[in-house]
Amino acid sequence: MAIRSRENLIGAWAFLIGIVLAILVGLFAGSNINPLILGILAILGLIVGYFVDEHNIQTFLLASVSLVIVCYAGISGLVLGAAVLGIEIGRIVSGVLSALLVLFVPSTIIVTIKTVFSLAEN
């Protein structure tokens, strides 16, 4: 069994709470997400980004940048599809993807800044 540090545990819980909150908010609020919830998601994203371990930075950045790109493309396509077809499921999925963007963009920015500072030190 691997020994986990306290920092990784905090980041893991922030990540889990953020994902569950993003999915629930997207399912129930759709595109009308409360700004307070968006603020909580952004703060959780900052916490997740702060506690990413140095050994996992490359994997995290690859995964999070991929997720941000896919979420943005998904939102763009679903909004267009919902406008043309009037499909309610598109609004729900668009809400989930929007909430995930609010969670992952701050964490990606924090990890990227940490990486740039690490490179500048060398």
Asked whether 95 and 29 are in contact (CB, 8 A), the reply is yes
Count of domains forming the chain = 1
Is residue 26 within 8 A of residue 59, CB to CB? The reply is: no
Asked, for residue 117, whether it belongs to a domain, the answer is yes
Which one-letter DSSP state was computed for residue 102?
H
Pick 80 or 49 by higher pLDDT.
49
| Whether pLDDT at 63 is above 90 | yes
**CA distance linking residue 104 with residue 110, whole number of Å:** 10
Q: What is the pTM of this model?
A: 0.82
* Residues 65-88, mean pLDDT to the nearest whole number: 74
Range of the domain at 87: 6-121
Can you tell me the distance from the alpha carbon of 55 to that of 96, in angstroms, rounded to the nearest whole number? 29
Q: What is the pLDDT of residue 1?
A: 40
> 83-94, pLDDT tens digit by residue?
555 566 777 788
Q: Is residue 1 part of a domain?
A: no
Distance CA 83, CA 98 (A): 17
Percentages (nearest 5) of helix, strand, coil residues in the chain: 85, 0, 15
Residue 51 has pLDDT above 60, yes or no: yes
Confirm whether 112 is domain-assigned.
yes
